[in-house]
Amino acid sequence: MSKRDEILEGAMRAFERHGFRGIGVDAVLLPSGASTRTLYKHFGSRDGLVLAVVEQRHQAFLERLRADPESGVAGLFKALALWQTEFGARGCMLLRAHGEYAGDSEEIAGAVRRQKTEFLDEIGRRVEVELGRRDEALSLQIWLLFEGATAAASVAGAEVVQAAAEAVQVLLSRASRT
């Protein structure tokens, strides 16, 4: 693993556990053993590292989804449940980054908005496959249930993901009759 990847992996774990602003640079770099100078060499700044972390997290989740493209909309919630088993149910790291940086870094906030739009588009593609037509309102509702389940699992437990998945099946069933 390259030093850049070591920094990225260690930072991801640190940010996941402590938040983006709740941890100092030295603690972020501790797992990789890298110096601040090495951080700047690879990422340009702390914000550059945060940007790389949210981009890597987003791409990793999309890759997980796209590994099982036949799973339809239900596969989104299956992937979320597995993701939470692996990383814990702490809410969405991307939305946490947006919350911590929205007023200070348009680059980070903009990246999260782009990533969430890309995810909404993925939901739209899956809805279109299942219904045989586009349904932007339904895609948005599913996105809201997904994001809500992600957040709610952090306080109510991972079983809320299953409840959201069941609600989505009701919505899909209704939409398929119209």
Sketch the domain layout of the chain as residue ranges.
1-44, 53-176
Percent of the chain with pLDDT over 90: 87
**pLDDT reported for residue 144:** 97
Mean pLDDT of the chain: 94
pLDDT digits (tens, 9 = 90+) for 34-63: 999 999 999 999 999 999 999 999 999 999
Using CA atoms, how far residue 176 sits from 88, 127, 131, 146, in Å, is 34, 10, 6, 20
pLDDT interval class at 158 (50, 70, 90)? confident
Confidence check: pLDDT of 94 > 80: yes
**pTM listed for this prediction:** 0.91
Contact yes or no for 42/3 (Cβ under 8 A) = yes
pLDDT interval class at 87 (50, 70, 90)? confident
pLDDT (mean) for 3-10: 96
Task: Give the homologous superfamily in CATH for domain 1-44.
Answer: Homeodomain-like (1.10.10.60)
Residue of 73 and 70 predicted with greater confidence: 73
Q: Which amino acid is at 146?
A: F
Q: Would you give the DSSP letter of residue 128?
A: H
* Positive/negative CA dihedral, 103, 120, 55, 107: negative
**Measured between alpha carbons, how far is 74 from 162 in angstroms, rounded to an integer?**
10
**pLDDT reported for residue 1:** 87
pLDDT digits (tens, 9 = 90+) for 124-153: 999 999 999 999 999 999 999 999 999 999
**pLDDT reported for residue 178:** 79
Helices (H), 3-135: 3-18, 25-29, 36-43, 46-66, 72-87, 93-101, 106-131
